Structure 1
Amino acid sequence: MPRGISFVCLTALTLLSSAASAAAEYVVRPIAVPDMKAVFGQVESRRVVPARARIGGSLREIKVSEGTQVKEGEVVAIVVDDKLALELNAANAKIEALNAQQENARAEFERAQQLLARGAGTQVRLDQARMQLDVVVNQVAAAQAEKTVIEQRAREGEVLAPADGRVLTVPITLGSVVLPGEEIARIASGRYYLRLSLPERHATEIKQDALVRIGQRGLSPAASGNIAEARPGRVAKVYPEITNGRVIADVDVDGIGDYFVNERTLVWIPVAQRSVLAVPPQVIVTRHGIDYVRVITDDGPIEIAVILGETIGTDDGSRIEVLTGLRDGDRISLPGGKP
């Protein structure tokens, strides 16, 4: 092989080797990560509406119990007022009496018309008979309207669900005497969300639309899992009023529709930012319980013992926080040349 070609090939191999070496390095730089605070969030419903009695009376039937799913307009309970049946009987009797008077007044009116046509009656008598018939007809109409009102009041004994949702409480027992407007059941009809209560010192750090992490059901960290396994949520609202040294925030999260209202679960929320040094997980080598990373120096690669922190999710993948052992600008050897 000619000498010139050998030199070119050697140069190309050197450049490829240098590029591979450069690609196999990871330069340690500080990254900003949110400082997550673990708090308990309480499940709330956007709307809790009462199903109220529309009339007074005795609670004759309860069709739902705590936890029942209801649809808007569904009958929740039935209230019966025994006086309505008596009033309805009285209205029917009044209508029958007025119908009899109406028939009599119509007969008098027709008789007055016949007499006037034969010249044996007067116009005054005809006008009086017509007026009497009109009065009775109007009385019949008024009595029928009163009966309709009584029937509507009887139908209003059905307590209806005001919206779709789940019954939270039924604070009344069968047979109880209820008044108009009294609460028969409480129904959670809105979307569920988590309500957080944090110390006042974090008020300026909590931002709307900030991402949070939601643990599994359970009050203990062991049951809720760690932050890496938690599902995401979003801060939907931060309330501007501080009450008893606490700031209130609401978190939207999917998949909590089967939770109990007022159930609590662990939530990690960002309250500050801190600068950390982090490395890809594959550069960590563990021997005899001690973690090492291979650092590239001018004298060649050396292994340095490090103390690791928590796992951090970034846009480039997961990183492991290094508490001690590395400095800004250190070059880490990457196995396989991939970060």
Structure 2
Amino acid sequence: MSILRWAFALGVCAAASAQAQPASFTVATASIADQKAVFATVEAAHVVPARARIGGTLTSYEVKYGDSVQAGQRIAMIADPAMIQQLQTLDAGIAAARAQLAQANIDFARAQKLILTGAVSRAVYDQAQTGVSVATSTLKAKRAERDTLAQQINEGAVYAPVAGRVLLTPLTQGTVVQAGDSVASIAEQDYVLRLDVPEHHIDYLHVGDMVRVAGDKPLFAKIVLVYPQVANGRVEADAIAPDVGDYFVGQRIEVWVYVGSRPGVVVPASFIDTRFGLDYADLRAPDGHAIAVPVQRGMPQPTPELPDGVEILSGLKTGDVLLPPGSAP
């Protein structure tokens, strides 16, 4: 059973590079994995809220529904008008403190000259020097207070906590929010496929099995969880795939799962030639010559050994030696 599931692990063959066309291929009976089409729903493994860190007014959204975001990307901005006014007040205070420092430096420079001639007392000189120190400290305090307030204002930026896709932006511009309010809901990038399988196939669902996602290009997912509960005659299982992020959360897609095996003939599709709507294979006759025989092509059955494997329903038997198309006259 494990060998059949490994043969059904088509992700390996999808990633394999194209091999050179062999000179011949000997037909042999092999175990073919039967597959059943079921529906799976794209689900987010985790939905993470992006929350406001300060209270204020939502001034802008920088994302919309369905946008892909990276962790740490800014998605919204919250501003508190009171903080903006405080910032303007501090800017004015810093300007005043600079003027006071400039005046204190002028007074101190004058005192330095006058004390050399004895025109002012030592007390006046010390007072001017103290004025410079006080004005310098006042300016530093104002700047530190402004930096603190500016950092609080910067806390109004709401960042994406994880990489993923925006599912919900529940607020509108101008909405008043409090610290901790959810501004957006983000589906984490690692989506899962939630399979819905009939109960009578439950014996074929195992963690580690591969399933094939229907589509234009091969996409394969690995079952990571089988839910231990049957509801309405169906069982659910979760599978993960590397490129499921291109789908929408909640989208239903077709998935092929392993449901058993049977004997059959599988050959490389490159040995089958289609002429006028009919499929032919070139066989090596007992006398060494090549003859073309019609075959009936079945479903694709790729395996790690035969990335382009296709089932042949009739026309070939075990021991036949196939030659590349065009070998027969």
Do these two structures clear the TM 0.5 threshold for a shared fold by scoring above it?
Answer: yes
Residue identity matched to 1:252: A
Partner of 2:176: 177
Map of 1:234 onto structure 2: 221
1:233 maps to a residue whose letter is F
Work out the CA distance in 2 between the residues paired with 1:49 and 1:130. 58
Q: Which runs of 5+ in 2 are unaligned?
A: 1-25, 268-297, 323-329
Paired residues of 1:312 and 1:320 also in contact (CA < 8 A): no
Residue-by-residue CA offset, 1:69-96 (whole Å, 9 max, x unaligned): 5577765333221102220232123223
* Alpha carbons of structure 1 residues 333 and 41: separation in structure 2 relative to 1, 3 Å: closer
* 8 Å Cα contact 2:67-2:166 kept in structure 1: yes
Would you say 1:167 and 2:161 are equivalent positions? no
The question of whether the paired residues in 1 share the 8 Å contact of 2:192 and 2:238 is answered with no
Structure 1 Cα separation of the partners of residues 203 and 104 of structure 2: 82
Equivalent-residue separation in structure 1 for 2:106 and 2:316 (angstroms):
116
Change (3 A) 1:244 1:174: farther
Partner of 2:108: 109
The one-letter amino acid of 1:251's match is I
Aligned ranges 1:1-339 → 2 under 5 Å:
31-34=30-33, 36=35, 38-45=37-44, 49-69=48-68, 76-161=75-160, 166-188=165-187, 190=189, 192-196=191-195, 202=202, 206-208=206-208, 210-215=209-214, 231-235=218-222, 238-239=224-225, 244=229, 248-252=237-241, 254=243, 256-270=244-258, 273-274=260-261, 276-278=262-264, 313=301, 315=306, 317-320=310-313
Q: Relative to 1, partners in 2 of residues 1:51 and 1:200: Cα closer, same or farther, differing over 3 Å?
A: farther
Q: Which amino acid aligns with 1:259?
A: Y
1:250 partner SS:
strand
Q: Report sequence identity in percent.
A: 32
Distance 1:232 1:253 in 2: 9
Instruction: State the one-letter code of the partner of 2:220.
Output: G
Query: Partner of 1:117: helix, strand, or coil?
Result: helix
Alignment partners' CA distance in 2, 1:333 and 1:148:
82
Which residue type is aligned with residue 169 of structure 2?
A: V
Which one has the largest radius of gyration? 1
In the TM superposition, residue 161 of structure 1 has moved relative to its aligned partner by 4.9
Compute the RMSD of aligned alpha carbons: 4.4
Gaps of 5+ in 1: 1-24, 217-228, 282-309, 322-331
Which residue is 1:287 aligned to?
none
Deviations 1:142-166 (A, max 9, x none): 2123223334444554445567654
Q: CA deviation at 1:318?
A: 0.5
Output one character per residue of 1:104-144: Cα deviation in whole Å (capped at 9) or x when no partner: 43344234323421234444543343233112212112212
The alpha carbon displacement at 1:43 in A equals 1.5
Contact 1:168–1:185, Cα closer than 8 Å, also in 2: yes
Contact 1:214–1:267 (CA under 8 A) maintained in structure 2: yes
Secondary structure of the 1:42 match is strand
- Give the TM-score of the pair, scaled to structure 1: 0.58
What is the number of equivalent residue pairs in this alignment?
257
Describe the SS at the equivalent of 1:180: coil
Aligned residue identity for 1:238: V
Question: Per-residue deviation at 1:61?
Answer: 2.9
Query: 2:43·2:192 contact (CA, 8 Å) conserved in 1?
Result: yes
The whole-number CA distance in structure 1 between the counterparts of 2:111 and 2:147 is: 34
The alpha-carbon deviation at position 168 of structure 1 amounts to 1.8
Checking the alignment, whether the CA contact within 8 Å between 1:311 and 1:320 is kept in structure 2 is no
Q: CA separation in 2, counterparts of 1:333 and 1:184?
A: 64
Distance in 1, matches of 2:75 and 2:32, equals 51
SS in 2 for 1:249: strand
TM-score, scaled relative to structure 2: 0.59
Checking the alignment, whether the CA contact within 8 Å between 2:168 and 2:185 is kept in structure 1 is: yes
Deviation at 1:212, TM superposition (A): 1.6
Look up the SS of the partner of 1:213 in the other structure: strand
Deviates more, 1:39-48 or 1:165-174: 39-48
Residue 98 of structure 1 and its aligned partner are, at CA, apart by 2.4
The alpha-carbon distance between structure 1 residues 202 and 127, as it changes in their structure 2 partners (threshold 3 A), is farther
Give the whole-Å Cα distance in 2 for the aligned partners of 1:67 and 1:233: 24
Change in 2 beyond 3 A, CA 1:107/1:243: farther
